[in-house]
Amino acid sequence: MLVHPDSGEVNILRSNPAYPYSLPGNSVWSFFPDGEGRVWIGTYGGKLALAIPGDSEVDLYFKASSGGLGHSIVSCFCEDNRGRLWIGTEGGGITVWDRNTDTFSYYTQQDGSGLASNMVKKLYLGEDGNIWASFFNSGIQVFDTSKKRWRDIS
């Protein structure tokens, strides 16, 4: 359900396999209102949807694929100061989508970036512009933008 903050209008979003502009799945794990007034919706089962409050259709979605969304279960979101969408997943680490260039980059436990776990529970943009992440059984880390590495909080 989306509620438009100005009008109070309510839109119920549901999955309908016969309709391509419906929610891609009814098992919603996360949502994130971005800086442009849109709402990103992460679903269990492989898709990330974009909805606009006041509209009953989903305008865009990504599914887990090579060169796209890094994993099929989206657990959390965050938007940085450059308008990039950071997407935490349950098993695939973090996917970063740069809307300006329409490119994806990835941080995983295996890639040498220092990411503590691929099970990302929460992403947060700090007042200093740094991205903070919490993980299942692996604590909290912050992203060092100058070194493009994750570091533990001591």
Prediction pTM value: 0.81
**pLDDT tens-digit map of 74-91:** 899 999 999 999 999 999
The torsion angle over the Cα atoms of residues 71, 141, 145 and 79, rounded to 10 degrees, is 50
Spatial separation of the C-alpha atoms in residues 91 and 98, rounded to whole Å: 21
Query: To the nearest whole percent, how much of the chain has pLDDT over 90?
Result: 40
**pLDDT tens-digit map of 90-146:** 999 999 999 899 899 999 999 999 999 999 999 999 998 899 999 998 999 999 888
In sequence order, the 6+-apart residues with CB closer than 8 A to the CB of 57 are 21, 22, 51
Q: What is the DSSP string of 38-99?
A: -EEEEEBTSEEEEE-TT-SSEEEEEEB-TTSBS-SBEEEEEE-TTSPEEEEEBSS-EEEEET
**Residue among 126, 119, 83, 129 at smallest CA distance from 103:** 83
